[in-house]
Amino acid sequence: EGDQDGLVGIATRARPKKPSMFRVLMLNDDYTPMEFVVMVLKRFFHMDLEQATRVMLHVHQRGVGVCGVFPYEIAETKVNQVMDFAKQNQHPLRCTLEKA
Ligand code: TYC
């Protein structure tokens, strides 16, 4: 079924794909101060103090936690922003992506 006659069925019509979503994960370490992690979650993931504290404590206790779920490009940008900010402040905090 081509498009020569402008006849393209609903099933095959070109349409924008919904972007695949990616989880941004925060990883625990032994050195990054808890307050710094809370600041990161507030600054880059727009969490309030209560939510940021909850996520930070979850990561501290379980080793990993979800900061948010975003389209790839946004998730990648957030990971880079967090890693740059941690490096600037000489903390070993790590953040990564996984497909949702
Ligand atoms: N485990 C760190 C400490 O005891 C706190 C921490 C929490 C570090 C979450 C990283 O993603 C993290 N200071």
What residues have CB less than 8 Å from 38, skipping those under 6 apart?
Answer: 49, 52, 53, 56
Tens of pLDDT, residue by residue over 24-63, are 999 999 999 999 999 999 999 999 999 999 999 999 999 9
Residue of 24, 25, 29, 67 to test ligand 1 pocket, by largest number of atoms within 8 Å of CB: 29
* Two tokens, residue 15: 């349409």
Give the span between the Cα atoms of 36 and 66, in whole angstroms. Answer: 17
Instruction: Tell me the C-alpha to C-alpha distance, in Å, between residue 93 and each of 2, 12, 23, 84, 87.
Output: 52, 46, 17, 10, 8
pTM, two decimal places: 0.86
Between strands 21-27 and 64-71, the pairing is antiparallel
Whether this model's ipTM surpasses 0.95 comes out as: yes
Pocket of ligand 1 (CB under 6 A): 26-30, 32-34, 37, 56, 59-60, 93
